[in-house]
Structure 1
Amino acid sequence: MADLRTSLGRLQLPNPVLTASGCAAAGKELSQFFDVAELGGIVTKSIMLRPRSGRATPRMAETPSGMLNSIGLQGPGIDSFLAHDLPWLRERGARAVVSIAGRHTDEYVALAKRLYNHPVDLIEVNISCPNVESRGQVFACDPIAAGRVISAVRRAAHPNVPVFAKLSPDVTDIGLIARAVTDAGADGISLINTLLGMEIDLDTLQPALGGVTGGLSGPAVRPVALRCVWQVHQTVPHLPLLGMGGIMTGQDALRFLLAGASAVSVGTAVFHDPGAPVRILRELNAELDARGFSSVTDAIGFAHKSPQQQAALRTGVTHPVSV
């Protein structure tokens, strides 16, 4: 079977499948279905400085091949996370990828400083959540603002902890934003956050979400996410990418690796299949083997190579299977 090891900057992972932020808090909900240490890592729900109640209800709505959420970054805040959730992850041997979010740069810096002396494996900087109250607060839509936040977090965080910028697809040129956060010191990039969307309830004739708009996730967004990973890999090919967006199967995960991701996060799939991350990991292993890849690293960015380059690298494959 394939060698599943991969890396996200300085962080070495036993396999490339992680959870996605916001879909399983800090992993406790999923631990009844599988050992959370089996995965490459657990990505926490975005943590803020202070407790936050979130947006008005209703907060979720189903859409064709996806779902809208308008949670609004509800959570207990950094103090509770450090006291309860992070110790729980460490006790179980899970790699902790901590997502942080703030209303302004100073809050991101304060969060990075609070995490400095704690056993955190990677910081994912959520500068792209599309369901905060003010659309103007989405730093990832502005290269200058995005770069400012990432630069400040990189300076404040522990030097041995990779800092990843989580970007939004709701921009004209995601490569421009990717270059900005790379120049600002990002060790990698997470792609993508949800797309901004809405739904109308035909019974009430009103918006289905209490906050009117929300983040669209699920299989419907996978082609958009895949396109973003492809474009960012072309823009900053040396930077590790964490791909996410509608990953439901091992084949989906493989597509993200081929487009340039070094690892993937599984999110919406857990709502109907809590064991989806470990199932997708098993399926990915089989998909790599079926296509003659001896390791995850061999598959990363493989689709960017010309047919001639691919043939030269796969001379030992006697039964290539189309993806």
Structure 2
Amino acid sequence: MSGLSVGGVELRSPVLAASGTFGYGTEVPLCDRRRLGGMVSKGIFLQPRPGAPPPRIVETPSGMLNAIGLQGPGVEALIRDYCPLWADWDFPVLVNINGESVAEYAELAARLDGVPGVSGMEVNVSCPNVREGGMFFGKDPAQAAAVTAAVRRSTRLPVWVKLTPAVTDLAEVARACESSGADALCAINTLVGMSIDLSTGRPRLAFGTGGLSGPAIHPIAVHLAHQAAQSVAIPVIGIGGISGAEDALEFLYAGCQAVQVGTATFIDPNAIGKTVEALEALDWRRLVEGTRSTVSAG
């Protein structure tokens, strides 16, 4: 399978495993790793985090809500326990990084810079399931730019920025990140949602709200990824409700250069492999070539 270069990262295929759905790559033995374009690790902070209390996941019509709260072991444990494994894998691993301040993002990027096994950073300025940081940075173009610039100064690795849909003008945020040194943009993170247990009258997630993902958000995600792709010259990686090759092709037609698959792997651990296989059978490069420019911005 021929690879491709996206945002400074050499991918084996146009389909990556999305952050938060693939753990640190060791938890999904049923996946056909030969088909992975790459993976993005579960989000990491400088220090360990316990995450949100259970229940953390709720099924919804055509999707699911999650409020994991970015549980993680902290960067030192990541470097000790996982990066040496990644260094031996034959696909790239980007680390999804998070902070409660611009300085924390920068410190985390500096700590991971040059660590064997880390192929790049996905800067998460869009998580809806934490009370500090997260979407605070992604909603404001100036804040998103400040985080991006700080990370860019702290690492020689490729910097991808993951955008939130919870903005009035995604294009403005996209351009701010591009001008601050981002190598690529990932669009989009989950939408904020809530589900109520009618027997108790209380939210079904302990956190209250959660990130909505799955087929329910796919049309919104395609629209916003298209907006981002029309606004910047750097690559955009499309994320949101991809269940198979046709969903992935929508993002590629909309101007994205790669996609990430997440929620579908909860239903079928080999969803990524099947999507890549189907894309290759369809000769996706030929289909996409010349088509992106025909998608109306309206």
Question: In which range does the TM-score fall when normalised by the shorter chain?
Answer: over 0.9
CA contact (8 A) 1:259 1:300 kept: no
C-alpha distance in 2 between matches for 1:115 and 1:241 = 23
**Corresponding residue for 1:311?**
none
Instruction: Say whether residues 1:69 and 2:66 are aligned partners.
Output: yes
2:18 corresponds to which of 17, 20, 38: 20
TM-score computed with the length of structure 1 as normaliser: 0.87
Q: In the TM superposition, what are the counterparts of 1:180-259 in structure 2 within 5 Å?
A: 180-236=176-232, 238-259=233-254
> Which residue matches 2:49?
52
2:106 is matched with 109
User: d(CA) in 1 for partners of 2:275 and 2:135?
Assistant: 34
Contact 1:261/1:301 (<8 A) preserved: no
- Equivalent residues in 2 for 1:140-155, closer than 5 Å: 140-155=138-153
Runs of 4+ in 1 over 3 A off after TM superposition: 134-137
Letter in 1 for 2:244: T
CA distance in 2, matches of 1:243, 1:196: 18
Contact 2:9 2:119 in 1 (8 A): yes
Give 1:99 shift.
0.7
Amino acid at match of 2:279: L
Count residues in correspondence: 295
Cα shift at 1:116? 1.1
**How far apart, in 1, do the equivalents of 2:261 and 2:273 lie?**
10
**What is the Cα deviation at residue 134 of structure 1?**
4.7
Identity of aligned residues (%): 45
Structure 2-normalised TM-score? Answer: 0.94
Deviation of 1:306 (Å): 7.2
Unaligned runs of at least 5 residues, structure 2: none
Shift of 1:24: 1.5
Q: Is the 8 A contact 2:135 2:164 kept in 1?
A: no
Which residue, 304, 307, 310 being the options, matches 2:293?
A: 304
Larger Rg: 1
Residue 304 of structure 1 deviates from its aligned partner by 2.5
Structure 1: 5+ residue stretches without partners = 308-323
The alpha-carbon distance between structure 1 residues 45 and 135, as it changes in their structure 2 partners (threshold 3 A), is closer
Aligned residue in 2 for 1:81: 78
